[in-house]
């Protein structure tokens, strides 16, 4: 039997540490916050484990180990019949594209520009400030 939806119980120990302005409140609704809380509780340990593996892998690389393909994928790489799907039609010609941060001004400028592709960069400067993501 499925668990009944209980947002108050789910949000019991949730604290939003960033500033909550009107725009942020539109994005971080109760339902969205419940969703994020469930995601965090479900995957946080796995996220931490992967971050720890990244630290270990970086230490190996710093010692001189090199990046390489997984041995168990050798048969796929060496199989001439294996071929990835072609890119979607809108992505085959990338001569005119723009890549930029998710802030509002950049997104508006990109959508108003004469480019064939716009790729939003959710990393970089936006990763350390939730306002960049919620206000973009």
- Which residues, 6+ apart, have CB-to-CB distance to 113 below 8 Å? 98
pLDDT tens per residue across span 32-44: 999 999 999 999 9
Q: Which whole number is the average pLDDT over 128-132?
A: 62
Confidence grade of residue 1 (pLDDT, cut at 50, 70, 90): low
pLDDT band, very low/low/confident/very high, at 124 (cuts 50, 70, 90): low
Residue range 101-110, pLDDT digits in tens: 777 888 888 8
> Percentage of the chain surpassing pLDDT 70?
87
pLDDT at 125: 58
Q: Is the pLDDT of residue 133 over 70?
A: no
Query: How large is the average pLDDT for residues 94-117?
Result: 79
Q: Using alpha carbons only, give the angle 55, 61, 62 rounded to the nearest 5 degrees.
A: 85
**Which residue in this structure is represented by tokens 């668990």?**
3
Residue 119: count of CB within 10 angstroms of its CB: 13
List the structure tokens of 19: 């500033």
> Which residue in 99, 98, 102 sits closest to 130, CA to CA?
102
Task: Quickly list H helices, 28-119.
Answer: 30-62, 74-77, 104-112
């Amino acid at each position: 039997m499925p668990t009944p939806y209980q947002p108050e119980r789910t949000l019991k120990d949730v604290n939003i540490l960033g500033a909550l302005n009107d725009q942020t409140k539109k994005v971080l609704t109760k339902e969205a916050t419940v969703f994020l809380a469930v995601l965090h509780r479900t995957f946080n340990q796995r996220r931490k484990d992967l971050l720890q593996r990244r630290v270990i892998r970086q230490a190996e690389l710093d010692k001189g180990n090199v990046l390489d393909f997984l041995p168990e994928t050798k048969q796929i790489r060496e199989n001439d019949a294996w071929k990835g799907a072609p890119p979607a039609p809108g992505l085959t010609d990338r001569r005119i594209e723009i890549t930029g941060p998710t802030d509002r001004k950049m997104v508006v400028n990109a959508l108003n520009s004469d480019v064939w592709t716009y790729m939003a960069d959710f990393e970089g400067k936006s990763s350390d400030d939730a306002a960049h993501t919620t206000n973009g």
